[in-house]
Chain A
Amino acid sequence: MLRGVLGKTFRLVGYTIQYGCIAHCAFEYVGGVVMCSGPSMEPTIQNSDIVFAENLTRHFYGIQRGDIVIAKSPSDPKSNICKRVIGLEGDKILTNSSSDFFKSHSYVPTGHVWLEGDNLQNSTDSRYYGPIPYGLIRGRIFFKIWPLSDLGFLRDSPNGHRFSDD
């Protein structure tokens, strides 16, 4: 009786480890489903939307301007942020609001990216904490699956004027 139970327990543990490892490999190297919270990416992504994120682009260093990425927060490594890539290394970035009279520029350092939320009024992003290292990027969001009324590939940035035009 005891041997039967022990055998079943071991088999259960074995399957859990096996499927846990397959899940880790899938999330780490392929992609997964993510729920976003917060208003900083409106109207492209609303609070509590569910999106699909892929991790292949980041592993091959193919993240481009205009991509929406998930990254680890620079001030809290256990939480994630979801923003759009405005500038890559070497790009010239407007660091203040375009309504200010004196425009101040800075260049994105090597190995870093400049992120901004689509909802510029209500987003804590690189305008607040500066450019973040590329190594913090976890994945690229490319498809929304919930709400069903908004199913599909994600729109381009509503803030096209923020992109550098060199």
Chain B
Amino acid sequence: MAQSQGWTRRYFRAFCKGFFVAVPVAVTFLDRVACVARVEGASMQPSLNPGGSQSSDVVLLNHWKVRNFEVQRGDIVSLVSPKNPEQKIIKRVIALEGDIVKTMGHKNRYVKVPRGHIWVEGDHHGHSFDSNSFGPVSLGLLHAHATHILWPPERWQKLESVLPPERLPVQREED
């Protein structure tokens, strides 16, 4: 009897020790380093989800790359939706702070991106709820940089940071 009690207590202590090490490390890794997410919707076609609702792509989200809020034009990023904080949206960065963008469907024809903000758009224009609807978004809402498609296996690839040529900013900050 005394032997099995000792075993139970040792097991319990080992479990607690493992739990309090594994859970914080895993949570910190998923919050700060990288995680995966399933993409839903058609706003990034054809780059993501070209098959529509039949097969959703699963992407690798890299938090570590945006820890200092450094993004480049053409990056595909995930951010907290400015219209619904419970939702994350995935779009491409079109312009950085200081650039002047020619908008598509926004109430102003030309918009200068304010300091600390970025302009994001989905690749599928017209089917995308993006900066053309809600304007420039604050960099504080940036969540992660989508770097690879992991699933389905036939679509395994690295996502390139390429700006569609017709969406180049009218004037870049460096000029």
Report A-chain residues with C-beta under 8 Å of the C-beta of B83: 109-111
Cβ of B1 within 8 Å of any chain A Cβ, yes or no, is no
The winner among A17, A22, A77, A136 for most chain B CB atoms within 10 A is A77
Contact present for B116 and A21 (CB under 8 Å): no
Question: Which residues between 121 and 151 of chain B lie within 8 Å of chain A, taking CB atoms?
Answer: 137-142
The number of chain B residues touching the other chain, given as a range, is 20 to 34
B residues at A contact (CB < 8 Å): 20-21, 23-25, 27-29, 31-32, 68-69, 80-86, 114-117, 137-142
Asked whether, in the complex, the Cβ of B116 is within 8 Å of the Cβ of A25, the reply is no
In the assembled complex, the Cα of A133 lies from the Cα of B82 at a distance in Å of: 5
A24's contact among B31, B84, B117, B139, by CB below 8 Å, is which? B31
Residues of A participating in the B interface, judged by any CB pair closer than 8 Å: 17-18, 20-22, 24-25, 28, 61, 71-78, 109-112, 132-136
Taking a contact as CB atoms under 8 Å apart, the answer to whether A22 and B82 are in contact is no
Q: Is there an interface contact between B25 and A77, defined as CB atoms closer than 8 Å?
A: no
Q: Quick check: B81 and A18 within 8 Å, CB to CB?
A: no
A75 touches B84 (CB 8 A): no
Compute how far the CA of A17 lies from the CA of B29 in the bound complex, rounded to whole angstroms: 11
A20 proximity list for chain B (CB < 8 A) = 28
Q: Within the assembled complex, what's the spacing in Å between the Cα atoms of A71 and B80?
A: 14
- How far is A115 from B12 in the complex, measured between Cα atoms in Å? 48
